[in-house]
Amino acid sequence: MAQGSGTVLAYVGTYTRNGSKGIYCYRVDTETGALTLLGTTNGVQNPSFVALHPGGRFLYSVSEVGASDGRPGGAVAAFALDPVSGALTLLDQQSSMGSGPCHVNVDHTGRYVFVANYGSGSAAMLPIQEDGSLGPACDSHQHEGSSVVPRRQEGPHAHSANLAPDNRFVFVCDLGLDRVLAYRLDLDGAKFPPNDPAWGTLHPGAGPRHMTFHPSGEYAYVINELDSTMTVFAYDGARGALETIQTITTLPEGFEGTSYPADVHISQDGRFLYGSNRGHDSIVTYAVDAATGKLTVVGHTSTFGEFPRNFNIDPTGRWMYVANQNTNNIVTYRIDAASGMPEPTGEQLEVPIPVCIQFLTV
């Protein structure tokens, strides 16, 4: 592969047990959807969630643990990325300023990494150095409070850190508080102070987990783990304000089992929204009303595996890949351009405890 070749790489984060080697790198055949393993990278415990630098030369992962280097709390790792081979080289690790970090993101300028700590219910901001390594956290926030579901909402549980389309705000979904906390992004001051308004509110017991924005920037979508719903917000980008306009189920009518939604993604043209259901083991497809941002269920597609923790759509918008955590497989789908429905190609990969998948065009 030559740099600038248009080749698409896929990086898969995993839990490092049951034979997992850490982060897996694949080459994506954008004509067929096939994935070819290029290599693996170890050296970090539980690099379950990964994020790519906008410059394409660095990758960041959580180390989803309760303690690291003998100190309480998890870590964030930085890797140099070889765009020719896809290989990763560990640069350093820094404290995530909390326990159980489960989500990591990079601001659009590539200057800072943001991490959400599920165990401690906190979020932190870490500076990216010129060589791609990380400095110690320059700002962090400990969430406070609880909500109505015993054992799951006894305290805060930050689950994702999401950058606004214009990079002016950071939104942290907190499953334990039923809130999406809003922070202003101060790039020059290396801070992310609370915004005013300070949060968008979910209904009690929702359990907000992951979030995405409509390409228009006018709407945001939050998938809720505890009651299997998707919430639609009208988004005021000038104020960083979220106003609920719809909440809709992620499950088919008549389903009575236990299920926990996990991830959410939107098509590049904003016509379709997708969510994963762990338990029902499906991908739900919604049609998006362009005028209102509201959702209508199109259908559900089996994930051909158990506990689809995360999934993603490749840069061409033609292929979807679903990571089934409990059955150690990644399943490939072709997305029907007319209906938006993901159609299984029959291709599956065996990957130990896959959690997330992120794409890079080199």
CB burial readout 299-315, b (16+ within 10 A) else e: ebbebbbebbbbbbbbe
In the structure encoding, which two tokens stand for residue 319, read together?
């292929």
In the prediction, which pLDDT does 66 show?
A: 84
CA-CA-CA-CA torsion for 292, 298, 303, 308, nearest 10 degrees?
Answer: 20
Other beta carbons within 10 Å of 144: 11
Query: What pLDDT score was predicted for residue 4?
Result: 59
CB atoms within 10 A of CB 294: 14
First to last CA, the chain: 8
Q: What is the pLDDT at residue 73?
A: 84
**Nearest C-alpha neighbor of 245 from the set 254, 236, 258:** 236
What is the pLDDT at residue 1? 44
Nearest to 88 by CA among 96, 77, 104, 74: 77
Q: Are 50 and 77 in contact (CB under 8 A)?
A: no
Closest CA to 275 of 232, 236, 330, 217: 232
Closest CA to 157 of 165, 149, 167, 166: 149
What 3-state class would DSSP assign to 108? coil
For residue 213, list its beta bridge partners: 220
Q: Which two tokens stand for residue 220?
A: 């945001």
Domains of the chain by start residue, with CATH: 1-41+250-362 (2.130.10.10)
pLDDT of 72: 74
pTM surpassing 0.95?
A: yes
Sign of CA dihedral 337, 341, 347, 350: positive
Which ranges of the chain have pLDDT less than 70? 1-5, 69
Helices (H) and strands (E) in the chain, counts: 0, 30
